[in-house]
Structure 1
Amino acid sequence: MNDSTATRLHSAAIHLLRRLRSTDLEVGVGPAKLSALSVLVFGGARSLGQLAAEEQVSAPTMSRIVRGLEGRGLVRRIPDPDDGRSIELRATAAGKRLLEKARRARLAQLESLLEALSPTERATLEAAVDAFEKLSRLPTDPLDDGRDRGPR
């Protein structure tokens, strides 16, 4: 594998995601809010700090995102059952419905795009999905095998 493959994969992934993101306009919620909502819907309740870390944004940025989601009734803050001083963010039923609507729209657009490929190209792409899934599970540090070795 060479740099050209990595460059092409990177570029193709970004362009495809941008194209699919256009469907987000149909649900009236921007990509940053949908991404944060997705974490809460599929990953469960999180603290603001955990959500910010997972979305790779600052806590103040995540606070603004969450306020927007709360204002639309898509997320609610509830006291942390283990620590009364903390709060957890949870998706509401309306948030789950909206996210599912957005997901269906993206998948419909992607399925439509896939129809433009030949059967051979679709089969090749289907086989490549396994490799993409494997890539997404690899540790960020190639030397990290997931075992805790304590301080280094």
Structure 2
Amino acid sequence: MRANDPGPDTTLTSAASELRMATFRLARRLRAQRAVDSMSDGQFAVLAALTIHGEHTLGQLAERERVTAPSMNRTVSLLEDAGYVTRTPHEDDRRKVTIALTDAGRTVVDETVRRRDAWLEEALDGLTPAERQTLAAAAEIMRKVAER
């Protein structure tokens, strides 16, 4: 560091740290609102991905969730045993299987989303209109940051 260099912007560092901590706390509170208490976040993430993006091969799911294929295989096996997903042979490559959501899996996703939205709506109801407006603006900014 040079003599005239003020060093890192401590205000920016502090703001980043505060935002990170608040985001993680909120995410943790939202994750606690789930339809199946025994389901892990990783298992729910697979169900959500299948809901949003449709059928996947095991490799595609592993890549999407940034885990190894053996780890994803264990997750899918647990979801399959619980009746939330099915495996069917891939149409073009018999060495692969296609993972699809069952009606029970879709119900878990829908109910979890409903619970999370209800929890957040109740939390927002306790804020002032100005605070809710600030959060709406922050949500747009956070979306922009996440897309970088």
Q: Give TM class, smaller chain.
A: 0.7 to 0.9
1:44 counterpart letter in structure 2: G
Larger radius of gyration: 2
Report the TM-score when normalising by structure 2. Answer: 0.85
Q: Per-residue deviation at 1:13?
A: 1.1
Matched, 1:13 2:13: no
Distance in 2 between the 1:71 and 1:18 partners? 27
Alignment correspondent of 1:27:
36
Q: Per-residue deviation at 1:115?
A: 1.4
Distance in 1 between the 2:145 and 2:103 partners? 32
Report the TM-score when normalising by structure 1. Answer: 0.83
Q: Aligned residue pairs: how many?
A: 137
Task: Give the percent of matched residue pairs that are identical in Structure 1 and Structure 2.
Answer: 38
Give the conservation status (yes or no) of the 8 Å contact 1:27–1:101.
no
2:78 counterpart letter in structure 1: G
Distance in 2 between the 1:54 and 1:9 partners? 26
Alignment correspondent of 1:47:
57
Matched, 1:104 2:139: no
Q: Per-residue deviation at 1:111?
A: 0.9
Compute the RMSD of aligned alpha carbons.
1.5
SS of alignment partner, residue 56 of structure 2 = coil
Distance in 2 between the 1:62 and 1:17 partners? 23
Please point out which of 71, 82, 85 is paired with 1:61: 71
* Structure 1 unmatched runs, 5+: 139-152
